[in-house]
Structure 1
């Protein structure tokens, strides 16, 4: 029997705006930074709304070419419902490109491997309860002042 690979359906694009990054320094786990999340937009075929001024992106740089990112924030959809986003990501690039990104510069996204596994949590009695029972994958792109995440449902 041949395994059936999963397919992906586009759900939404989330553009997250961040404040200047808070530098923690070099720790036993590598360089640590925190980027406060200050707003943004979410737009997709079935949902649209805004990113609330709540949450942060916790960044860990264990090597010069690798970043582990954990972002937690809230979407408020145009229909009034709220979605909690808990996103784990990996970003890898040439050390010079990663340093440019850490300095806030834009790097051509084709030079960066940026993938994520966002978990979306919604009110289980609301219209977006399906998100609680769905796995999502995404691609990311670092922008000046934020991040763009393309979110896909795994079926």
Structure 2
């Protein structure tokens, strides 16, 4: 595992129905991350650009700036999807809390940094599993060797 990532959201901004689907932007209010080789905080200013497609799939496109406990700055981006049966997705869209077994939240992540101690992240391929939580999702990110 590379790290666990908690990303609480601020209020969701609705862009509305577009030709691609229903577009929303969820600013990230902060958060934290921890793992065997790095830990720190999520800096303000990131967001999740959400697209709800007509087929019921919710696509996510997240971009974050991270600050490690030793002062390094990292850029993290991940894309993925939230998939659930129509009735479960309707409950999710009403703000209901779902059971972890009712949906799939999967991501592919990439890191960028100029910090020498973390340059290994620039070439690391990472996949993630997300879980819905009251304040926002929590992700478990795994390095692919």
- Give matches, 1:97-136, under 5 Å: 97-123=88-114, 125-136=115-126
Equivalent position to 1:75, from 57, 66, 83: 66
Correspondence for 1:88: 79
Equivalent-residue separation in structure 2 for 1:89 and 1:19 (angstroms) = 20
Q: 1-side partners of 2:48 and 2:27: how far apart?
A: 6
Secondary structure at the aligned position of 2:30 is classed as strand
Question: Take 2:144 and 2:66, find their aligned partners in 1: how far apart are those partners?
Answer: 20
Distance in 1, matches of 2:88 and 2:144, equals 30
Q: Structure 1 stretches of 5 or more lacking a match?
A: 1-9
1:111/1:143 Cα in 2 relative to 1: closer, same or farther (>3 Å)? Answer: same
SS in 2 for 1:63: coil
Q: How far apart are the structure 2 equivalents of 1:78 and 1:66?
A: 36
Q: 1:64, CA displacement in angstroms?
A: 5.0
- From 42, 60, 65, give the equivalent of 2:56: 65
What is the RMSD of the two structures over their aligned residues, measured on CA atoms?
1.2
Query: 4+ runs of 1 displaced by more than 4 Å?
Result: none
2:128 alignment partner in structure 1: 138
> Number of paired residues?
145
Deviations 1:57-105 (A, max 9, x none): 0000113531110000111110100110111011100122223323332
More strand, by proportion: 1
* Structure 2: runs of 5 or more not aligned: none
